[in-house]
Amino acid sequence: MDNPFRKLRNWYSEQTPTTKGFIWIGLLLIIGIIIRWDYISKEVVAAFGFLNFNQ
């Protein structure tokens, strides 16, 4: 039985430098969204409130 972390490490090492960069950027963006989730969700709700279709 192969260790899942070893499989992930082997898969990551086979990627091109560009793909590795995109993986890291994606992880950073996901972490940023998680950290700022309250602000993001508040602004999205406010944006939908601006589109009041009941006028």
Question: What's the pLDDT score for residue 52?
Answer: 67
Question: What's the pLDDT score for residue 24?
Answer: 97
Question: What's the pLDDT score for residue 49?
Answer: 77
Residue 46 is encoded by which pair of tokens?
């406010």
Residue 5 to residues 1, 9, 24, 31, Cα–Cα distance (Å): 12, 6, 17, 21
Question: What's the pLDDT score for residue 14?
Answer: 96
Question: What's the pLDDT score for residue 2?
Answer: 76
pLDDT digits (tens, 9 = 90+) for 1-55: 579 999 999 999 999 999 999 999 999 999 999 999 999 999 888 888 777 665 5
Q: What is the pTM of this model?
A: 0.67
Using DSSP's 3-state secondary structure scheme, residue 8 falls into helix
